[in-house]
Structure 1
Amino acid sequence: MDNLPNIHPGEILFEEFMGPLSISQNKLARDIGVQPIRINQIIHGKRSITADTALRLGRYFGTSVGFWLGLQADYDVEKALVSLGSRLEEEVAILNATPVAAVAPYDQGRVAVVAFGASKCV
């Protein structure tokens, strides 16, 4: 972990998008078709950005869905790392097996999972 603060995606939404574009919570909510409370809770760090919200924000601001979901995932992982602390190393052993599982693209969107010499389609 580094020393940078863990910034909730709602803060980025507010500081980097809504503020510079002078978009109010009510306007954003109305424009993307959600209740204003959802936007309020997100920008105050009390609610996560869901796939539904990410789709709406991505379309509205011209960003990728992955941008918003990535911000949320990064925030959640950092929060979990802080919460777990050294317990992660104490409670979870590292699997000592080779080869390491590999995931590769396979046949029109399905994924081939190859692990320990066996493979299957999921």
Structure 2
Amino acid sequence: MKPVAASWSFPPRGVPVRTPMHPGRLLARTCLAPLGLSQSEAARVLGLSRRRLHELVHGQRAMSPDTAIRCARYFHIDAGFWLAHQAAWDSFHAWKRLCSGSASPSVSH
């Protein structure tokens, strides 16, 4: 049986239609800014290097499970929340790469 061609005009179920906010930017806006925490202070209380937190906040680094757990413990926001935002970010950008032709879609048999 011949595989049915996928429609590339809209994302598949589970992939955001619009660009989601990077979890690091979300962290800065919803946790650091309201508490008046600088990146240096936040890095210290989370047990992260300043560079690691800076890269996360600026969208240059992914929210790892380790960082999500640290954020959950300090800010009392479920680690799954942070990881779900990272998954949304990753799937949206993977979709954009596929649509732009920079990655080939594969079909599982």
The two structures have a TM-score, normalised by structure 1, of 0.68
5+ residue gaps in structure 2?
1-10, 12-16
Given residue 51 of structure 2, which amino acid in structure 1 is its aligned partner?
I
Please tell me whether the aligned partners of residues 98 and 105 of structure 2 are also in contact (alpha carbons under 8 angstroms): no
- Asked whether the equivalents of residues 50 and 69 of structure 1 are also in contact (C-alpha less than 8 Å), the reply is yes
Write 1 or 2 for the structure with the bigger share of helix. Answer: 2
- Residue 24 of structure 1 corresponds to 38
8 Å CA contact retained: 1:6, 1:79: no
Superposed CA deviations along residues 63-82 of structure 1, whole A, max 9, x for unmatched, are: 11101111111100000000
Equivalence for 2:8: none
Percent of aligned positions that are identical: 35
Other structure's SS at 1:56 match: helix
Structure 1's consecutive aligned runs of 4 or more residues displaced over 2 angstroms after TM superposition are 90-95
Larger radius of gyration: 1
Q: Does the C-alpha gap of structure 1 residues 85 and 59 become closer, same or farther in structure 2, counting only changes over 3 Å?
A: same
What are the superposed Cα offsets for residues 29-58 of structure 1, whole Å, 9 maximum, x if unpaired?
Answer: 100111111110001000001011011000
Aligned residue pairs, count: 92
Say which of 69, 73, 78 aligns to 1:59. 73
1:45 to 46, 56, 59: 59
Computed over aligned residues only, the root mean square deviation of the Cα atoms, in angstroms, reads: 1.8
**Cα distance in structure 1, aligned partners of 2:59 and 2:30:** 15
1:70 paired residue among 79, 84, 98: 84
Greater strand proportion: 1
**Alpha-carbon separation, structure 2, partners of 1:25 and 1:76:** 24
Instruction: Using structure 2 for the length normalisation, give the TM-score.
Output: 0.76
Structure 1: runs of 5 or more not aligned? 96-122
